[in-house]
Amino acid sequence: MKKFIALMLAMLMVMGLMAGCSSSETAAEAPAAESAAGAIKLGMCGPLTGGAAVYGTAVQAGMEIAVEEINAKGGLQFALNCQDDEHDTEKAANAYNALKDWGMQIMAGPVTTAPSNVVAGECANDQIFMLTPSASGVSVIEYGDNIFQICFTDPNQGVASADYMASRELGTTIGVIYDSSDVYSAGIYEKFAAQAEANGLNIACVEAFTADNKADLTTQVTKCKDAGCDLVFLPFYATEAAQVLTYANTIDYSPIFFGCDGLDGVLTVEGFDPALAEGVMLLTPFSADSSDVATQMFVAKYQDKTGIVPNQFAADAYDVIYAIAQACEKGGVTADMSASEINAIMVEQFTSMTFDGLTGKGMTWAATGEVSKSPMAVVIENGTYVGVE
């Protein structure tokens, strides 16, 4: 019993401490949030800590830039609240509820697919409009009519990749390495495999890894090499890609490496030698080296803010805010509307509007919530992305 009291006391102490901290914290934040009296409350949740934090923090930064820009213009005002979901379904539900308590009117997230599956269910249920920047799983938008994506769905990427390979005759013997514990990676692979078969591509080698054993990817690369693959498809994220490319280089293996949007950012992995990524092709809607003025401005601001070059996650996030802003303006959304009123307007706007953003021009959305924009193939040359026509 004594032990118990001690435990409770310690808890209370810490709680008290935290209450103190948190009150000061909110005070510090107040200006940003308060200036938006009458601002529309946007909620975002994503992995801000843990292994997937790099995506969550990129999205957060991208959104913050967009919100700052829009608020600075006057007129439509946004308040943004970012919650950590640790790339975990359970935590995502908690993050979502925390946002609801804050008074969120539009959900501009989550970042990754697995948590999005949970949050999408809630948003559909609560009639809160949801536009995810980067959760590309096809299951996400199946939860309701008010769930939208600004990124390609995974199947689209898989299909597009297979089509692209077939039409350009990029490789004769194809190897695939994917992360079977990751919804995004497994989702792309699944459709890619189906489409590749339809296109008559020769997949000689399919290797997987999981979040637990991705520390060592040498075996998978060696197997692709042994199978004589001259094209290796890497539908996963930049971190692991850096590993694959580094190891391939050490064993003198240089097929065409082909990736999807997750691969974007491989050049900005700190300490990675960009020379190793020479010749890597990827399908991505965004390239930080684009000559587009808006992109350049965004890249500059992002670098100012975070010190690193934005990847496609950040760009998607930036677009999400602008797309929402556009729909809000057109639909006449005001901050005093309820979330479900806004929801109805947003669904109507999104299914009818056309949006130009950093990650694509002339984007439109189907009633399912799926975006239609054209993927762009880029190849890495001299350490930068170069568009391939």
Contact 230, 175 (CB under 8 A): no
Name the minimum Å distance from CB 326 to another protein. Answer: 28
CA 161 to centroid of chain Cα atoms: 18
State the Cα–Cα distance between residues 227 and 6, nearest whole angstrom. 62
| Tokens of residue 109, six digits | 């997230």
- For the bound state, the minimum distance from the C-beta of residue 78 to another protein, rounded and expressed in Å, comes to 19
The residue among 95 and 170 lying less far from another protein, judged by its C-beta, is 95
Closer residue to another protein in complex, CB, 15/300 = 15
Identify the CA nearest to 288 among candidates 152, 150, 384. 384
Backbone dihedral angles phi then psi of residue 259, each to the nearest 5 degrees: -130, 180
Query: Least distance to another protein from the beta carbon of 40, Å?
Result: 19
How wide is the angle at C-alpha 380 spanned by C-alphas 54 and 229, nearest 5°? 95
Least distance (Å) between residue 107 CB and another protein = 13
Closer residue to another protein (CB): 74 or 271 = 271
Assess contact for 358 and 286: CB atoms under 8 A: yes
The answer to whether residues 343 and 251 touch, using CB atoms and an 8 Å cutoff, is: no
SS (H, E, C) 62-91: HHHHHHHHHHHCCCCCEEEEEEECCCCHHH
Token reading at 387: 């568009």
The two tokens of residue 216 are 């060592």
What are 180's two structure tokens? 């079977």
Minimum Å gap between C-beta 183 and another protein is 5
Smallest separation (angstroms) from another protein to the CB of 272? 3
- Residue number with CB closer to another protein (263 or 327): 263
Q: How far is the CB of 95 from another protein (least distance, A)?
A: 8
Shortest distance in whole angstroms from residue 15 CB to another protein:
7
CB of 56 to another protein, least distance (A): 8
Which lies closer to another protein via its Cβ, residue 169 or residue 270?
A: 270
Nearer to another protein, 25 or 348 (CB): 25
Can you read off the two tokens belonging to residue 358?
A: 């950093």
Does residue 87 come out as left (phi exceeding 0), alpha (psi in the -120 to 50 range) or beta? left
CB of 97 or CB of 374, closer to another protein: 97
Nearer to another protein, 160 or 269 (CB): 269
Task: Give which of 352, 375, 179 is closest to 287, Cα–Cα.
Answer: 375
Backbone angles phi, psi at 374, to 5 degrees: -95, 130
Nearer Cβ to another protein, position 123 or 170?
A: 123
Q: How far is the CB of 162 from another protein (least distance, A)?
A: 15
235 prior amide bond cis, ω within 30: no
The angle at the Cα of 294, spanning 292 to 299, to the nearest 5 degrees, equals 95
CA 192 – CA 176 distance, rounded (Å): 10
The whole-angstrom separation of Cα 388 and Cα 379 is 7
Q: Which is nearer to another protein, 3 or 332 (CB)?
A: 3
CB distance 123 to 95 below 8 Å: no
